[in-house]
Structure formats: structure tokens, C-alpha cells
A and B are shown apart, each in its own frame.
Chain A
Amino acid sequence: MSERTFMGYRRADGTVGVRNHVAIIPTCGCASRAAELIAAQVEGAVLLDYTGGCGETEADIAVAARLLGQYGRHPNVIGSVLVSLGCETMNAQALAESIATGVAPTELLVIQQVGGTRKTVERGIEIARGMVATGRSLRREPCPLSALTVALECGGSDATSGMAANPAMGAFSDLMVAAGAKVILAETSELLGAEHVLTARAATPAIAARLLEVIDACERFLKATGEDFINKQPSPGNIRGGITTVEEKALGDVLKGGTTPVVEVLAYGQPPSLAGLSFMDTPGNDLSSVTGLVAAGSQLVVFTTGRGNPMGNAIAPVIKVTGNAHTYQRMQDDMDLDASPIITGEETVAQVGRRMYELSLRVIAGEQTAAEVLQHGEFMMLRQGPVY
């Protein structure tokens, strides 16, 4: 098998899954317990732990409905059970119809119509088990890496992040782009101070302008809430760790996107349309950023951490990389790749980037990540407005 193919699940619409999950999707917080009970009792089912709902802004509910629909149609999902309460603001029927435009089956259960939690859970378990059973006959076949979308994320950073794990992720990103994959960099607030680097790499002037727009909007949004982000950077702890300027701090983050041109700027959860490196406008909050990146169709997430973050995602494997040897030793259950040989001088950035690439190829072919073994199924929707 060449480097440009991997063993994946080819779907009827031409997309390629790397896992076969049945998603249990509550359409509001009030339905989330019933959904949780279903997912807990069906092996192969995962809960999309959406806890939003009534009393949120129209914009936040619209984002949630759009993203839940995208999860239902995601190539890693082979079927979904929607669990609705019956009186929530989100239109559950419309969501079911939107998921049904994809190739995976979906069923809607309305708790108030089915007759309560117990009956809904029983019915949901039966449906989900049927979907899981159907999935057992699916077989992996060679698929091109051009069918792969990889999300890049970092969290719990420390002094080693900018020295080892993030530069290695940059080398990894370049390898993925060269292999024809789509790669998505994210976390707008962490770009403040490194605008010049990403805009210089924008494929067109319009993309550079769009990057500056989303960064300015982020800074204005923070200012409107009373946060003066840029002038609090770097933090006193960062300075003790050797980071002098906000530019330097932001660069340590943004270099995980490697050196290739930025070909597209995406809204939260928006699927990329072009091969190469895109930038998605997401918050620095790791859970809601990753949730949006996976909604966009990312089948794989690679996550760098310094202090050690154990998070995963409900439907996509998350590979955890640290450049901190102590974190790798202390939190080995949660870590997949040790980038600290860069710090000890035993390996180069390029060598660790290559190891990250090889591990990714094994994971998309079925090897379980640490977060998957521990069933880390984190899921958190972006929420920008008040709850009233």
C-alpha cells in the first residue's frame, strides 16, 4: 500500500469513515439523560452530549442544530438516534430530515410522545443495536488520503509546546498536505499576535483579508465582554518560562499549521472545500473547538499538550502528543506520542513529525488512541450568547 492510501470505510456518498459509530443525539438538555442511558447500554453507540436548549439565543440554537446535523451525516457515523423531548426550541423533525439527506439512517424518538424516559430508552436501545449490527458487515478498503480531513488542536500548553510538540505538528501538517489531505488549523484567539505569519501564507489577498477579519472580530468580541486579551499576553507564567512577546507566544501555537499556504478560512463547523491547509474560526476552548472541527468532517484530530489534557471526541479519534517527558511518563494512559526526544536532542522536529504521520496512518486504519480506549467522548457546542 502506498503512503497516499489507507484502509477506511467507503460510504455510499463517496466520503470515507475511519470509525463506525452509532450516534445518540439529544436535541435539548432535557432529553440528554435518556440519550445517555441509551448510549451507555449499546456497545458501539456514542452519546453526543448536547445540553443546550431553551432560553438560549436563536443564533446559538441555530449553530447547535447545524452541527448536530453535520455529526449525523459525518463519515464516521453509520446511524443515529435523535432523542427529542417534544417541546424544545430546536426543531427536532427538521434536524432528522437534515440528517436523512445523508447516507446513514436516522430515527427520531420524542419522549413526550413515546411516553417517558423508560419507554424511550428501551426503544432507543433496540434501534441503536440494529444500527450497530448493520455496521458489523462493513469492511475496510484502500482509500486515498485525499478523502481525509485532519484537525489540529492544542491545549494545556507549557514551555515545551512551542519547542517540540507544535513544531513537530507543523512538520506533520506539511506531510499530510503533501499527501493530498485537508488539514484544519483553528483557535482564533490564539492567533492574536501572529496575524502576520498566517496572512503572509494566505493563498490569495482575499484569504489574507478574511483572516484579519475573523481575528479582528475575535478581539472586538473579547473587548466587548471587558477582556483586554492582547495586553495581558504573555502571562507572567509564560514570561518565567522564557516567552517574551505575544507574537512569540502566538507563533509557538500557529506553527503547528506547518509551512503550506492557507487556502480557505472557515466559519465554526464549516467543512473545507479544498485540499491543503485551512483555518477555522473557533474559540481557544479545546472542547468546543474540537467539536466544531469534527462537525466540519474531520475524521481525525491530532492534539498537542504540554501539561497533559486527556480529552477525546464523541466520534473522531484524537491523538494526544506531548513534548513534556514528565507529562508523558505521568499521564501515559492519556498520551499517544512522546515528542520530548526533540528536547533531549535525540530526535529532530522532522523525525517526530514523521512519527506523528505514521501513527496517524495506523489510527485511521483502526488502531485505538488512548482517548478511545478510555472512552473519552467529549462534545461541547460553541455558545456565545446568554442563557436566560
Chain B
Amino acid sequence: MVNALLIHPADTVAVALRDLAAGEQLTARDADLGGVVAHEAVPFGHKVAVRPIASGTQVIKYGAHIGLATRDIAPGEHVHTHNLVSVRGAVQR
């Protein structure tokens, strides 16, 4: 059952197509996500890492940079304000 969307083949994060529970395996319609399993609950529309992302490196979505990882992120982790910051926006929340 499809529950995730990899928008661009180069993306390091997929988007949850429904609320995901911890332990659910991610499946996309037109990409092989390599059996990544959600580490934690991920709400609809939120991002899940599908590859290891090193602290201080760019997170890729839409095939482009969306900001820097503030810590090492393992495949299956929720990616949001707790581990990703904007480069362009000066004020961080």
C-alpha cells in the first residue's frame, strides 16, 4: 500500500501521504525506498528521511536544497524544525 511520495529521484526525504505510525514501512508509487521504516509517528504532509543525512549537510526535497540538518538524521526519522534549519530565512524557530 502506497503511503509515501518521493517527489524527485535525488530527494533525501519522502513525504507522508497519510499519518504514519512508528514501525510502518514506507512504500512509494514510482520509487524504491529500500525498505525504510518510520522510526516514529509522522503526520500527513510531513517529511521522513529515506537516506542518511549528515549533520551540517543539505536536506534535498524537490531535487533541491531546503536547508541544513542540525544533527545526523537516520533513514526513517521525521525531518522537521527539530533537525532542519533554513539557510535563507534569518530567524529560526
Number of interface residues of B (CB under 8 A): 34
* Residue A245 lies at the interface, judged by CB distance under 8 Å to chain B: yes
Most buried by A among B43, B45, B81: B45
Instruction: Decide if B7 touches A163 in the complex (CB within 8 Å).
Output: yes
B47 CB to nearest A CB, Å: 6
| Interface range for A | 35 or more
Tell me the nearest residue of chain A to B68, going by C-beta: A245
* Residue A353 lies at the interface, judged by CB distance under 8 Å to chain B: no
Residues of A within 8 A of B7 (CB): 163, 167, 255, 349
Instruction: Decide if B66 touches A251 in the complex (CB within 8 Å).
Output: yes
Instruction: Decide if A245 touches B44 in the complex (CB within 8 Å).
Output: no
Residues of B within 8 A of A359 (CB): none
Most buried by A among B2, B7, B91: B7
**Which of A167, A244, A345, A349 interacts with B67 by CB under 8 Å?**
A244
Instruction: Decide if B79 touches A342 in the complex (CB within 8 Å).
Output: no
Residues of A within 8 A of B67 (CB): 244-245, 247-248
Instruction: Decide if B17 touches A344 in the complex (CB within 8 Å).
Output: yes
Residues of A within 8 A of B87 (CB): 245, 247
Knowing A233-B89, A241-B45 are in contact, say whether A344-B64 is a contact too (CB < 8 A): no
B4 CB to nearest A CB, Å: 9
Q: List 30 A-B contacts (CB under 8 A).
A: A159-B45, A193-B89, A196-B64, A197-B62, A197-B64, A230-B89, A231-B91, A239-B93, A242-B16, A242-B44, A242-B46, A242-B47, A244-B84, A244-B86, A245-B87, A245-B88, A246-B88, A246-B89, A247-B67, A247-B86, A247-B88, A251-B62, A251-B66, A342-B5, A342-B29, A343-B17, A344-B2, A345-B5, A345-B17, A345-B29
Seen from chain A, the residues whose Cβ lies within 8 Å of a Cβ on chain B are 159-160, 162-163, 167, 192-197, 230-231, 233, 239, 241-248, 251-252, 255, 342-350
Shortest beta-carbon contacts, A-B, top 8: A345-B2, A242-B46, A245-B86, A159-B45, A242-B45, A248-B66, A245-B67, A246-B89
